Amino acid sequence: MEKNQISLPVDDLPKKWYNILPDLPEPLPPPKEPDEGPSRLEFLAKTMTKECLSQESSSQRWIAIPEEVRELYIQAGRPRPLYRARRLEKHLKLKKTRLYYKREDLSPTGSHKTNTALAQAYFASREGKRVLITETGAGQWGTALAHAARLAGLECVVFWVRSVYDWKVDRRTLMQLLGAKVYASPSKQTRMGREILARDVNHHGSLGIAVSEGLEYTEEHEGSVYCLGSVLNHVLMHQTIIGLETIKQFELIDDQPDLIVGCLGGGSNFGGISLPFVGEVLKKKRECEFLAAQTMASPSLLKGRYEYDFGDVGEHTPLMKMYTLGHKTEMKPIKADGLRYHAAAPIISLLRHRGIVKATAYPTDERAVFEAAKIFLQCEGWLIAPESSYAVRAGIDEAVKNEKIGQEKAICMNISGHGFLDIPAYKEKILS
């Protein structure tokens, strides 16, 4: 029998995260202060945990995953299976291309974001913090942090862009069931929020405002820490658990991927599955290509410039060298909200700059990506997140391309999350 599910024994869950910083082909350009305003580096340092701050610029290649975090990973269902997509291959009539996918959709909150949320919550707890603060746009990150805070016995406060907060009622309910305080941003909880509401009581908010509110709240509440869900080096490092498991799983079946495909907004799931493979490519230990699937709403790696920019609209972060569309760019709303970000993580940007990571982008009507998700559902049986459908679309497109070339090739797609809370989007895009 050909088994489509490649599972890794619980005991084989990796014991270390992979930090790519010392292996990069050139030193990562450090974050910088802007010319004006208060020190962003000091501010960031003040609101983060010491451990994450230290990991952010560590030169240590392997960083031990604390036993407590490994236990939490196992509690959250890790290791997650890798699948050979034989049913999809058959549907696409592939003869030369082997398709695989990694199942981050099995996460308790529905996305890969738990991998860093659980780690950040643990470090905060170890440093005596009591409250985790964050902002959220699409809601995946807020849910993951609410979950992690609860499991660590901490409180959680989420500032959620009002225009999303208002309609994603189920996701809001889930955060609240997990015990989080969820505020529509702009909120009455902060000076900034109150000022904005005084001018416009119906202000629909923005990610920039939500970040500002979160940071102000963190500064004014002792024992609290601000948590970020993407872009930063330590976040991508926590996510390497995905790729490290995947390497072991390919070893189990004596195969290896020639191409890894992931969707990319800020870069955390893409970095998570790719970086352990990239590290081995850089050391000439393997050959593999990497493709980021983006939305034309924010095709940072394709249309952006590689330059220093803020990580947020509100200019609270230091300047980071990234492929960026500009931190004030307006982006068209799409169903895969998680991909709407103006820039790519510094590490991913450097790899793009050096030609190691390639990128593609799909139109904002999203018909093509939802169609791919439907094919995936009907063949493989799993309902995936709108974001993940970009990875599947790109994986299918690359497979079809490869069939014309006729080379033996293995493609691995990362399924970053499930779609059970995104069914209305499917209805709109597929059934109407």
Stretch that binds a second copy, among 52-60, 165-173, 288-296, 316-324 (CB under 8 A): 165-173
- The contacts found for 41-49 with CB under 8 angstroms, 24 or more apart, are 41/318, 43/215, 43/316, 44/317, 44/318, 46/219, 47/215, 47/218, 47/219, 47/225, 47/226, 48/225, 48/226, 48/228, 49/120, 49/123, 49/124, 49/127, 49/129, 49/225
Q: Does 380 bind a second copy (CB under 8 A)?
A: yes
CB of 3 or CB of 328, closer to a second copy: 3
Q: Does 71 bind a second copy (CB under 8 A)?
A: yes
Closest separation in Å from C-beta 147 to a second copy: 6
- Interface with a second copy (CB under 8 A), residue from 128, 169, 254, 285: 169
Stretch that binds a second copy, among 48-56, 121-129, 170-178, 397-405 (CB under 8 A): 170-178
Alpha helices per DSSP H over 200-303:
207-220, 233-252, 268-282, 300-303
Q: Does 418 bind a second copy (CB under 8 A)?
A: yes
Question: Residue 79 and residue 70: Cα distance in Å, rounded?
Answer: 10
Give all strands (DSSP E) within 325-366, no chain letters: 357-362
- Interface with a second copy (CB under 8 A), residue from 64, 176, 223, 287: 176
Question: Encoding tokens for residue 420?
Answer: 């059970």
> 7-46 mask for a second copy (x: CB under 8 A)?
x-xxx-----------------------------------
Phi-psi category of residue 77: left, alpha or beta, with phi > 0 → left and psi -120 to 50 → alpha: left
- Interface with a second copy (CB under 8 A), residue from 45, 177, 198, 400: 177
Contact status, residue 361 vs residue 339, Cβ threshold 8 Å: no
Q: Does 427 bind a second copy (CB under 8 A)?
A: yes
CB of 10 or CB of 400, closer to a second copy: 10
Closest separation in Å from C-beta 74 to a second copy: 5
Q: Does 126 bind a second copy (CB under 8 A)?
A: no
Contact status, residue 273 vs residue 242, Cβ threshold 8 Å: yes
Closest separation in Å from C-beta 193 to a second copy: 23
Number of residues that bind a second copy (CB under 8 A): 49
Q: Does 2 bind a second copy (CB under 8 A)?
A: yes
Contact status, residue 246 vs residue 275, Cβ threshold 8 Å: no
Question: Encoding tokens for residue 111?
Answer: 């996305």
Question: Residue 261 and residue 106: Cα distance in Å, rounded?
Answer: 18
Subset of residues 305 to 334 that bind a second copy, contact rule: CB under 8 A: none
Contact status, residue 336 vs residue 390, Cβ threshold 8 Å: yes
Q: Does 170 bind a second copy (CB under 8 A)?
A: yes
Q: Does 179 bind a second copy (CB under 8 A)?
A: yes
Give all strands (DSSP E) within 74-120, no chain letters: 82-84, 97-103
Closest separation in Å from C-beta 242 to a second copy: 17
Stretch that binds a second copy, among 76-84, 240-248, 259-267, 394-402 (CB under 8 A): 76-84
Contact status, residue 376 vs residue 389, Cβ threshold 8 Å: yes
CB of 175 or CB of 348, closer to a second copy: 175
Residue bearing tokens 């991913």: 348
Question: Encoding tokens for residue 37?
Answer: 């305003």
- Interface with a second copy (CB under 8 A), residue from 353, 374, 397, 403: 374
**What order do you get walking across the sheet with 224-226 strand by strand?**
181-185, 155-161, 131-136, 224-226
- Interface with a second copy (CB under 8 A), residue from 281, 382, 397, 403: 382
Which residues form the interface with a second copy (CB under 8 A)? 1-7, 9-11, 67, 70-71, 74-77, 81, 87, 106, 108, 110, 147, 150-151, 169-170, 173-174, 176-179, 374, 377-378, 380-383, 418, 420-421, 423-424, 426-427, 430-431
